[in-house]
């Protein structure tokens, strides 16, 4: 049983260390109690692709840095379990079902601009986006101040433990700033 992170680099604007971000995702998911067979996707796309998703799912124009697409409204660790019921040859009915958490879509070009604008290292901005997107898949949100504060605190804790870089207090990436609604959880 393992948490599988499928990562794909579908852009050419900036180099992406797929294994580094996959390892961070696995560590964060383990830290948050995701056990057994679970899957999540990390997709790195260009500005045109993320702008199209932003428009299609959120009705917002232009590119954003990260979008999260949870499989279910019910937060993890439940997720959606395909093919429940019945067993096939070689399967064990006692095995935990596969949990599909969802997709995190990140635009490295926007992340690089955000890092420069906020005076942080590009790898710290990318790490923040990975963690932020995963927390959305796990049911966290930042629509209200209390929720935003809890989410930011957890982001800092997870980054300190699993990335080694902690964004300064005040959220330099702008992920929770009221005037920057682009980073958000997308509906199913």
Structural domains in the chain, CATH included, are 3-80+98-185 (3.40.390.30)
Distance CA 81, CA 59 (A): 29
Q: What is the pLDDT of residue 143?
A: 81
CB atoms within 10 A of CB 141: 15
Whole-angstrom distance between the N-terminal and C-terminal Cα of the chain? 27
Q: What does the buried/exposed string (b/e) look like for 39-75 if buried means 16 or more CB atoms within 10 Å of the residue's CB? A: bbbbbbbbbebbbebbeebbeeeebbbbbbbbbbeeb
Q: What is the pLDDT of residue 48?
A: 98
In the block, residue with structure tokens 């800092």: 156
Q: What is the pLDDT of residue 148?
A: 87
Q: What is the pTM of this model?
A: 0.78
Q: What is the pLDDT of residue 153?
A: 93
> Which residues of the chain fall short of a pLDDT of 70?
1, 72-96, 165-188
Q: What is the pLDDT of residue 144?
A: 78
Q: What is the DSSP letter of 186?
A: P
Q: What is the pLDDT of residue 85?
A: 47
Q: What is the pLDDT of residue 35?
A: 83
List the one residue out of 48, 49, 30, 50 whose CA is nearest residue 40. 30
Q: What is the pLDDT of residue 167?
A: 52
Distance CA 124, CA 165 (A): 6
């Amino acid at each position: 049983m393992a948490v599988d992170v499928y990562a794909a680099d579908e852009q050419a604007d900036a180099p992406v260390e797929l294994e580094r971000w996959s390892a961070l995702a696995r560590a964060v998911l383990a830290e948050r109690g995701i056990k057994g067979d679970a899957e999540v996707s990390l997709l790195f796309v260009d500005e045109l692709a993320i702008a199209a998703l932003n428009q299609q799912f959120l009705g917002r124009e232009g590119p954003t840095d990260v979008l999260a697409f949870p499989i279910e409204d019910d937060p993890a660790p439940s997720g959606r379990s395909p093919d429940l019921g019945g067993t096939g040859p070689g399967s064990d009915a006692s095995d935990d079902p596969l949990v599909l958490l969802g997709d995190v879509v990140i635009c490295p070009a926007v992340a690089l601009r955000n890092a420069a604008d906020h005076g942080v290292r590009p790898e710290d901005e990318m790490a923040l986006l990975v963690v932020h997107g995963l927390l959305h898949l796990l049911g966290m949100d930042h629509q209200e101040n209390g929720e935003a504060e809890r989410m930011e605190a957890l982001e800092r804790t997870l980054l300190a433990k699993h990335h080694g870089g902690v964004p300064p207090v005040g959220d330099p990436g702008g992920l929770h700033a009221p005037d920057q609604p682009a980073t958000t959880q997308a509906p199913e």
